[in-house]
Structure formats: C-alpha cells, structure tokens
Amino acid sequence: MYYYKQNQIFKMWLCVEKTDSLEGVVEAPPSKSYTHRALIVSMLAKKSRIRNPLISSDTMATKNACESLGAEILEKNGDWIVNGVDGIIDVKRDVIDVKNSGTTLRFIASLAALSKKEVEITGDKSIRQRPISELLNGLKDLAYIKDTNGFAPIRIRNKGDIEDVSIKIRGDISSQFISSLLLIAPMIGLEIIITTPLKSKPYVDITIDVMKKAGIDIKKTDNGFYVKKQKYKNIDYKIPGDFSSAANILCPCSFIESNVEIKNLSMDDKQGDKRVIDILRDIGAILKIKKNSVKIMNGENLNAMNIDASDIPDLVPPLVSVFCFSNGTSLIKNIEHLKYKECNRLNACKEFRKLGVDIEIGDDKILIKGPNRIKSATLRAFNDHRMVMALASAAMKAESGVTRIDSADMLNVSFPKYLEDMQRLGARMWIENG
C-alpha cells in the first residue's frame, strides 16, 4: 500500500502520460463509507469484529476518535477487534483531531454530544472551513456547544439525562448530518425531522444498513426517522468493496482501450455509487457483471448523457472525465452540494479547462461538450482525493507531454493503492516530489 504524509512542506505530484491501453485484474478497496459506520456502531456496542476494513487516513481518523471516546481497537490478521463502550462514552483524550476527514468531524460531533466531559474536535485547515452549523444547531437540545461560527474547532458536552428528543435538520447540505444523528439515536431515543429534500440518500441507507446489522429498529416516518432507545448488539461484519473508488478505474476504462476486471464488488449492497455501472453501460461501454466482480471494455463511440447527480455526488468528478470523450453535450445537474465536499468541487472542475475540455460550470450543474482533444497541463486538485483521480483519468488521453496534478498525498484518503493498481493495469503515471 502507498501511504502519503499530509501537510508536507513540499508538494506531491501525480504525473500522468498518455496511456494507450488498460488490461488486467485488480480488487476494489474496502468501502470508506461502510468502514466509518461500522467503527461507530462497533464502538457503541460491547465487542465486535470488522473484517476487511479500509485502512486510510480518513478511516484512521475515525478509529483514533473512537479510541479517544473510550473504545479499544485491536488489529488481528487484518481485521479490527473493537472493545466498545456499550453505549456509555468514556473520554480518554479530550482533544480529537479529525485531520482531513469530514465524515469523522460530523459523526464524532454527535457522539461528543453524549459525553459528560467536554470534548474539543478540531482538524486541518480544510476541516476548519467546512460548515457544520446545521448539525450543531440540531444538537443544542442535547449538548452545550462552543464553536467558531459554525466551524471547527468545536467544544461540546452533554447537558444531562435527556431522552426522546426531536431534532429538525435540513437534508440538502450533507446527508452525513442525518447519518450522524441516526448513529446516536438508539442511545437517547430520537425523532429526526428532515425539513428539506434529502440529497445523497444512499449514504443514509448505508448507515441504516449497518445499524440494522447491529439489531437497531429504525422506523421511517413521513418526514424523517424515529429510533426508540435501545442497545447496539455486537457485529461481525465484512466491509464490502467501494464503488466510489472503483469508479476511478471503471471510468477511464470506458474511453481508453481496455479489458479490465475489478473484483470485490457486489451489486447487492446499498451503495448508491454502483449506479456508475448503469451510466457507463448506457453511454456505450461494455460491462459484464459477475457475482462479486465487474468486467469492463471500452466503447467505440460514447454517447452524451443527462444525469441527476443529487444522490451520487462522489461520482461527479470521474463522470466529468468520461463526458470529456462523449459525443455531444452532457449535463450533470442537481449538484449544488458539491460545494461542501473536501473542496468546492464545482469550482475545482474548472481545472478540466486546462486540459482543453469544453466545460461550463453553473451553481448546480456542469455542461461538458465532447469529444475533446486533451493536452497536458499542470493542475490543482485542491487537496481533494477524488479530483486527483478524475483529472488523472482525463490526462491519460493527453496527446503528448506530462500532466502534473498536485495533492497526490490525498490519494490516501480513500484509495491508498490507486497508483499501484493503475500501474498494474498499464497506466503511465508516477509520483514526484517538489
């Protein structure tokens, strides 16, 4: 595995040259979303086992945070054995640094609201710029909160024995706010009232899926959820493969001559990003679905397409790379919430213009006119792992020269083996420092 140190005094660049073909077999990394949720659920139970967890900077931030709140997590033969707190937060370290993990920030904020001892939650510069006021406002009935105008660092502690609470929260900023509340709901008994249309709903479905594995009864209401007070049961849970990460292999395979199989992918799980399979097939790529793998070959002529991406925000960057080579104008809409990711991904997608792509960015949509002839360039990825991979995908079609993409260290957030896997398939890419 590749592990990159963040916040270095020098930049790490992903360098990419034209790649003529991709061929071989790789395995999708374990799901980042499922790993985060399995950690929280296991922490709140007594003793659980997480099989095949994703080991990345983001998931390690959640692991460390869970340990700070009282869990003991041991590694055994690649699995995590979690000795949990059985529903009672027991603060071991009262300052929690979530590094660059927005998921950790949001999930741990709600957990800290159950702590009798004040906990400070902080993170890197990017985290301190990501809004969390909507979640904090929802938690104010449960906890005393000190924050910097809705941003980290946050200091938070429980107000006392409070049960059967009702919290109103918007659903159009981040589905992680809803997931965060759901995860603590069994501890107190909680009604969650969602006041605006829920975006990225499949991520909430993942949360519910893991909670139900731990025996939690969740009732869907007309405008949200109700969870009665109850205890998490122990789980023995294998983390499935990650479609969000696999998309960064599948997408370039659609427009580069390819014969690639990705193992550890099941169409039966709750991940919304498995929709990438249908999208690539619809635009002309050739895909074969097996029980636990996906095989892809490139299409001869890719079609343009209109996509509502309200539920699949993490697919937007890799799909932009695909539509660079589709015939006609493609539209990706309902993506205003991309502004609240690791960076403002709407603005970040303007970097495709440096590659020669005809792309227009609106407040909640992206238009891409294709096909485009790609030229090499020096690109910014704004410390966003998904932007690094999406720009690299398009850069593999540059007619000459080397494309250099900064923020290569961010690959460790979700896909530590990205470079290794792409090189194994034949991609001409490497890391440079400077």
Query: pLDDT by residue for the chain (434 residues), tens digit each?
Result: 333 344 444 589 999 999 999 999 999 999 999 999 999 999 999 999 999 999 999 999 999 999 999 999 999 999 999 999 999 999 999 999 999 999 999 999 999 999 999 999 999 998 998 889 999 999 999 999 998 889 999 999 999 888 899 999 999 999 999 999 999 999 999 999 999 999 999 999 999 999 999 999 999 999 999 999 999 999 999 999 999 999 999 999 999 999 999 999 999 989 999 999 999 999 999 999 999 999 999 988 999 999 999 999 999 999 999 999 999 999 999 999 898 788 899 999 999 999 999 999 999 999 999 999 999 999 999 999 999 999 999 999 999 999 999 999 999 999 999 999 999 999 999 999 97
State the first-to-last Cα distance of the chain, in angstroms, to the nearest integer: 22
Dihedral of alpha carbons 118, 123, 129, 131, sign: negative
Query: Which fold, 12-30+240-433?
Result: UDP-n-acetylglucosamine1-carboxyvinyl-transferase; Chain (3.65.10)
Token pair belonging to 298: 């490139």
Res 10: pLDDT: 59
Location of each CATH 3.65.10.10 domain in the chain: 12-30+240-433, 32-229
Token pair belonging to 422: 């792409």
Query: Which fold, 32-229?
Result: UDP-n-acetylglucosamine1-carboxyvinyl-transferase; Chain (3.65.10)
Query: Which of the residues are catalytic?
Result: 314
Q: How many Å apart are CA 137 and CA 161, to the nearest integer?
A: 19
Res 162: pLDDT: 85
Q: Is the peptide bond before 313 cis (omega within 30 degrees of 0)?
A: no
Within 8 A by CB and 6+ apart from 290, the residues are none
Res 153: pLDDT: 96
Within 8 A by CB and 6+ apart from 229, the residues are 163, 164, 186, 187, 188, 189
Under 8 Å between Cβ of 429 and 423: yes
Res 6: pLDDT: 42
Res 300: pLDDT: 87
3-state secondary structure the chain: CCCCCCCCCCCEEEEECCCCEEEEEEECCECHHHHHHHHHHHHHCCEEEEECCCCCHHHHHHHHHHHHCCCEEEEECCEEEEECCCCCCCCCCCEEECCCCHHHHHHHHHHHCCCCCCEEEECCCCHHHCCCHHHHHHHCCCEEEEECCCCCCEEEEECCCCCCEEEEECCCCCHHHHHHHHHHHHHHCEEEEECCCCCCHHHHHHHHHHHHHCCCCCEEECCEEEECCCCCCCCEEECCECHHHHHHHHHHHHHCEEEEEEECCCCCCCCHHHHHHHHHHHHCCEEEECCCEEEEECCCCCECCEEECCCCHHHHHHHHHHHCCCEEEEEEECCHHHHHCCCCHHHHHHHHHHHCCEEEECCCEEEEEECCCCCCCEECCCCCHHHHHHHHHHHCCCCCCCEEECCHHHHHHCCCCHHHHHHHHCCCEEEEEC
Q: How many Å apart are CA 289 and CA 209, to the nearest integer?
A: 23
The residue written with tokens 């660059």 in the block is 100
